[in-house]
Structure 1
Amino acid sequence: MATRSAFIVAALAALSPARAADLDKPALTSNLDYLLEGNVNNLPSNGGPYWGKWEAGLMPADCKSIAEDQGLNPTDFEVWDIFFNDCQDGWSFCRHKDSADSFETLVDTFGRMPVRMRSWVRHILTIPGDNWAFNSNGNIAFSGTTSSNLDVCLHETGHSLDLLGAYVEGGALSSSQEWLDAYNADSNVPDEYARSNQVENVAQNTVVAVYDKVNPGGFPGVQSNAGAIANQYQLVESKAGDQIVPGGTCDRHLANSDTVSMTGDKVSASSAKKVQKNRNDAHDPAFKGTYENIVEGFAPFNSKDFH
């Protein structure tokens, strides 16, 4: 059985081909596996998920495009809407039939995410293959058994917060002068993967920041040299505020992608309403809750492209 360290390194390093790191600061540690247990223990599973299965043959457009981009057949997926008790609206989960992890595993992992952090994720996919994961326009795809790893989920959601404007309105923290100043003020970055580039550095510092906020004793409690990256992870904490701690309710949602046929094109509004009527309340693309912000306009991104 692979060690936890090997699991996380494989899940993250598989995103990047062998190459020199973009950042020249040394890694504080080789990986962040020592934070996983504390994050799992202090990010409780949110109760009462309600599951509503989509009608066969339909799926979110983003799930379909990601599946096809990975060389997978969209008809091999099943789609469920998962509702947690801290948000009136749910998230659409697209699971390939050959995925290593169960739906229950994925729901438990994603449900542990602080709800205001979870609110920056659109759809979730699990696909078969080696252990790796990526974020495409707020959709997180987990390959292999990565959907069972909370820190991988925190890392990928960290990309959403960074690149969709949770930290810097209308921009990305990772490309801001404020972030560069914090980086320059520190002697290290969190781990070897954070050395890949500033986008990955912010995502890894998001994992550190969550640990620091939710664990008794914070990050210094497990890392005697925490000051070596303090300007970076504390800037993430300052920008994120209560978004990275448990509690509260969702205050935004990413606009759902269109409902499409697994084998065809977008389903018309009239057809979607008919489908909805026939499916009872299994899926409704319209939001029921009131949110401060529905996230729609942003520069498209895929975390795979940063390598």
Structure 2
Amino acid sequence: MLFLYSLFPLLALGYHYDPKPAISPPFDFLGAVEKGLQDHMPQPPQFSITLWDGENADKIPYYCKDSAMGHATNISKIQVFKVAYADCEEPWVMCRHQDAKPDVNAIAVTFGRLPIGMREYVNNILVLKAAKTMGFYSWSQNGSIGVSDESWSLFALAKEISNQLDSRVSIPGVTPNQTGGLSNTGVWRDSFVKSDAMVSSYANSSMQENLALSGALALFNVVVPGGVGTIQPNWTQIVRQYGLFQTYYGNIITPGVKLNCTQRLENTPTAHRDNKDLEAPSPPLHEGLQAIPTGVYDGRMFSLLGDSVHRALPVEDGN
């Protein structure tokens, strides 16, 4: 069921394309790609962490509750906290399973290392136990991102935020006026057609996933001296794809270009843990920040650890 969400955009567009072979040797996204990002991304700005306890203990972002329940996770095991970074007036509300491998500080540090231009397209973060995620390492929905604790990484975040940039960022003369959707355009398809390979075999599942994976490589290419060629001898086979992403979103993904958030996504509404339909008001945006409306894709976008779609469904076991 989850994998079908990633196929839907391709079916809905009504066009056919011939799949490309995956580049060889394949990328080790959570190995060499992640190491390059970890070694060269800047450290996060100053930040503070506030746990939602006491009178806030019963509250949880609706996205975190909905997604955790969808992954058969006990809501009482979800820890909620907010992280305020020095480069943005509005804090991010984040969630993690209490037994997830990254603790609250590790989550705050990793997310904070991404450029503010990327972070402002995220409203909530959720980290779940890998046993509950059916083999998916990350997923996104309307600006919120979920990640398996086994796959928590700069790469996973960069890939999912690339989906958000695709759906929300308008490119004058390329995407429809004031909307995103680069992956739906002839410009993006042309870069694909003229390439000799795909970023990975999974990238063949849809143009959206192809673009998102290319986005993570574009970030690598920006921050790592020597770029993608340092880990991929056949980089010229896919350079049209990650190079086009870098051309259109370079100012967003390059550290230091933007210094403060100006158009941050609003945190999702807050729900009470014991009543799915009862919502409390979400914190308002501070003056000077602009809420970004829902993007062109309202469905969920998922990423697989491998290429098999035969996944066991999670079961509610109290965890």
TM over 0.5: yes
Q: CA deviation at 1:305?
A: 9.6
Residues 84 and 90 of structure 1 are in contact (CA less than 8 Å); yes or no, is this contact kept in structure 2? yes
Rounded Cα–Cα distance in structure 1 between residues aligned with 2:170 and 2:41: 20
Give the equivalent residue in structure 2 for 1:25: 20
Rounded Cα–Cα distance in structure 2 between residues aligned with 1:294 and 1:209: 26
Rounded Cα–Cα distance in structure 2 between residues aligned with 1:219 and 1:64: 38
Residues 165 and 180 of structure 2 are in contact (CA less than 8 Å); yes or no, is this contact kept in structure 1? no
Q: Are residues 1:286 and 2:284 paired?
A: yes
Residues 20-46 of structure 1: CA distance to partner in whole angstroms, max 9, x if unpaired?
9x8621122322433222211111221
Deviates more, 1:151-160 or 1:28-37: 28-37
Q: Note the aligned Cα RMSD (angstroms).
A: 2.6
Q: CA deviation at 1:135?
A: 0.9
Q: CA deviation at 1:16?
A: 4.8
**Structure 2 counterpart of 1:266, which letter?**
L
Residues 143-196 of structure 1: CA distance to partner in whole angstroms, max 9, x if unpaired?
23222x211111111111112336544131222111101111111112233233
Match of 1:215 among 221, 224, 243: 224
Give the equivalent residue in structure 2 for 1:62: 63
Q: TM-score, normalised by structure 2?
A: 0.78
Match of 2:182 among 173, 178, 183: 173
Match of 1:224 among 230, 233, 250: 233
Residues 189 and 201 of structure 1 are in contact (CA less than 8 Å); yes or no, is this contact kept in structure 2? yes
Residues 32 and 191 of structure 1 are in contact (CA less than 8 Å); yes or no, is this contact kept in structure 2? no
Q: How many residues align?
A: 275
**Structure 2: any 5+ residue segments left out of the alignment?**
8-16, 310-319
Rounded Cα–Cα distance in structure 1 between residues aligned with 2:292 and 2:223: 27
SS of residue paired to 2:264: strand
- Same amino acid, percent of matched pairs: 26
Change beyond 3 A, Cα 1:101–1:123: same
Residues 134 and 141 of structure 1 are in contact (CA less than 8 Å); yes or no, is this contact kept in structure 2? yes
Change beyond 3 A, Cα 1:41–1:23: farther
Give the equivalent residue in structure 2 for 1:160: 164
Give the equivalent residue in structure 1 for 2:154: 150
> Residues 1-307 of structure 1: matches in 2 within 5 Å?
16=3, 24-29=19-24, 30-33=26-29, 34-54=32-52, 55-130=56-131, 132-147=137-152, 149-165=153-169, 168=175, 169-247=178-256, 248-264=259-275, 265-268=277-280, 285-291=283-289, 293-298=290-295, 299-304=297-302
Rounded Cα–Cα distance in structure 2 between residues aligned with 1:305 and 1:52: 30
Change beyond 3 A, Cα 1:151–1:23: farther
Rounded Cα–Cα distance in structure 1 between residues aligned with 2:69 and 2:128: 11
Change beyond 3 A, Cα 1:79–1:210: same
